[in-house]
Structure 1
């Protein structure tokens, strides 16, 4: 009887997620807010609280985080990461200053203490790679000149997570300074070792994992990822960081084949993860934090736009491309929920989970809209700049002097390759 109830409950969840994903696809926005709402509906205080399947959903949610980070790591090679770190680190520093500090200040203003401040700083800092990748594809901006700038910022955020997540894990666990420092040192050492091995021996690792049989490739990669994630967690390092580093180590045809094979599993368990986060949030706890979440969302949306604009300008991108870069980076999603989930599980601050849920719901809806309409804003600014340049000065005696030849250097705001 217990197994029958489990199958009914879990089957209903998966069916509901599939229908919600279809609705989101037709409306052309991320399904993450709908998944979070589904979790709120199935959790305590919701419409249909779960019973038998909650433990399985918890395990599925943990696998979802691991697969999200693995697939993210597959997007980059170790050499790409090293190159981005060397050339784009100023943009990463600006990104941190403009977007993490508002979250930390908000936590202190709400009276939540230093640990909650560190957690909320991460929630407001990290953009959603999944949502942004989908937006770039939907809008046809993958080949735009500002896209490498956007991806560089996302890569730097992902690298920062390899340091940040172990710090948060140690803080929420309440360990001492010595043990926390040891955890961070282990995390940095493991990350540096994996990057070194990936750069130097990446081809050998990929050759060892490679297989012409999709079944064998799937089993080897998935098993290796879960094994490394488990070992990382046993060493007090985030399992998500371990999975991310495995993804970095794989490259070439192996990475492409793994991406194809694991994408459906990633989507399934990632959806379960968002539901699981919603399960642990009482819907009645959201209205009291809605106004702070909205204020924080508006502030950090503006700071993300400023980050993208500055980074694109530094890379020589035109005005329209700068606005597109800023608008695209606004969305928050999976990482923000992962970070908040660590604090919720540890019971750091009861209101942190509801605030993070409301915050992500707002920005995951606003993010695609700011990306779409940032091009309109950029076009207006570019046109206004062009008009100002073409204004004819009042006629004076100097107008009788033969004109100086005009430079034929193309205007970066009118040159399509610059936008």
Structure 2
């Protein structure tokens, strides 16, 4: 009875604290993720108030949080959307992976952490935060901008890549042999391909089976199906998160919209618990030794994300202003970087990887909204300071006016 009371007090204090932190972040108009991570650091080992009785329950809640994050992500897309994006935008996805995964892998190898940690840190630096970026686009009123489809296409490709990347990470962290890892990856790719095929051909049938006019029944069926598939996927050494992501893709139409509305509060609750749980497993005293590498990595990968967005927007025919807006918007890292690092922390492959990932995400989840807002005006200001050479001015004056007209910069809005 005494331990039960302590559990309720501890867990109630965590939930209340998260609610207050979320309210504070809303007033300050930035993502609550860094505040949740800091809360986890405060409640974890070496923090101000270490937890005891409720830590095991928080661990279960964190696992549910990851599953709901990936389920909600899958609900955002249809299978046809993913196939279409894969066909048309794959060059941008390859550039994104190359520019942003390599810095993380290189740093891990330079620090002597080994190839497995290099693959993990590559994922941490590669994947942008869909949640933070979606919120930033809404806050800045850019959902109708011409560059926004380019941004969303890159995010979709990153999310689709997770279905392949997570099983690879799971196999590497489990220390399985090359043959067993190849089997795991083959199973993951086969299941993902099968689900995409079924979703494209029979998505309406699946949605009708799950559909219900009663919100309670719809919530129970979708949540139960997601947890069941996630558990089966984990049993097959694929990844519970991938299983949840595929369930989300398989649902479409009114069912997906209804499930999204019902599950959003649960997602937010358990996702917050997940960030706290990750912080719990990071000793605050372990962060100072890795703060400089984390800052350096944040600067480098912020620049590579800006370059990725600029290149992808240029390829799509977007004007200079839109290119810089696209690049600045992609900088934020968040939930999926922590999910990837959390797998490595649980496996215990490298003690410093968790603290470095925490510091890295803390920096970029704060800087990301700022780069989204100010990259374009700063780039235009710097471009405006470049004065043409005298001979260039003379050449312009001697050119007929009709030949010197430049195409008008778009305002960023679809017309």
- TM class, shorter-chain normalised? over 0.9
Distance 1:171 1:372, change over 3 A: same
Residue 30, structure 1, aligned to residue 31, structure 2 = yes
Alignment of 1:150-229 (within 5 A): 150-229=151-230
Cα deviations by residue, 1:133-153 (Å, 9 ceiling, x for unpaired): 111111111110111100100
Contact 1:91 1:153 (8 Å CA) reproduced: yes
Tell me which residue corresponds to 1:67. Answer: 68
Contact 2:295 2:360 (8 Å CA) reproduced: yes
Alignment of 1:10-25 (within 5 A): 10-25=11-26
Tell me which residue corresponds to 2:78. Answer: 77
Taking only aligned residues, the RMSD between alpha carbons, in angstroms, comes to: 2.1
Contact 1:183 1:236 (8 Å CA) reproduced: yes
Cα deviations by residue, 1:242-283 (Å, 9 ceiling, x for unpaired): 101111111111111111100000000000000000000000
Tell me which residue corresponds to 1:6. Answer: 7
Contact 1:322 1:378 (8 Å CA) reproduced: no
Contact 2:164 2:189 (8 Å CA) reproduced: yes
2:394 alignment partner, SS class: coil
Gaps of 5+ in 2: none
Per-residue deviation, 1:43: 0.5
Tell me which residue corresponds to 1:305. Answer: 306
Distance 1:122 1:416, change over 3 A: closer
Residue 339, structure 1, aligned to residue 340, structure 2 = yes
Cα deviations by residue, 1:303-329 (Å, 9 ceiling, x for unpaired): 000000000000001111111110010
Q: Distance in 2 between matches of 1:319 and 1:365?
A: 25
Q: Distance in 2 between matches of 1:181 and 1:164?
A: 13
Q: Structure 1 runs of 4+ off > 6 angstroms?
A: none
Tell me which residue corresponds to 1:255. Answer: 256
Tell me which residue corresponds to 2:115. Answer: 114
Residue 131, structure 1, aligned to residue 132, structure 2 = yes
TM-score (norm 1): 0.95
Q: Distance in 2 between matches of 1:395 and 1:371?
A: 37
Alignment of 1:367-378 (within 5 A): 367-378=368-379
Per-residue deviation, 1:63: 0.3
Q: Distance in 2 between matches of 1:202 and 1:416?
A: 34
Cα deviations by residue, 1:158-197 (Å, 9 ceiling, x for unpaired): 1111111000100011000010000000000000000000
Q: Distance in 2 between matches of 1:159 and 1:117?
A: 21
Contact 2:322 2:412 (8 Å CA) reproduced: no
Q: Distance in 2 between matches of 1:416 and 1:37?
A: 36
TM-score (norm 2): 0.96
Gaps of 5+ in 1: none
Distance 1:395 1:405, change over 3 A: closer
Distance 1:302 1:395, change over 3 A: closer
Q: Distance in 2 between matches of 1:67 and 1:191?
A: 18
Q: Distance in 2 between matches of 1:393 and 1:106?
A: 46
Per-residue deviation, 1:406: 4.3
Contact 2:324 2:375 (8 Å CA) reproduced: yes
Per-residue deviation, 1:377: 2.4
Tell me which residue corresponds to 1:241. Answer: 242
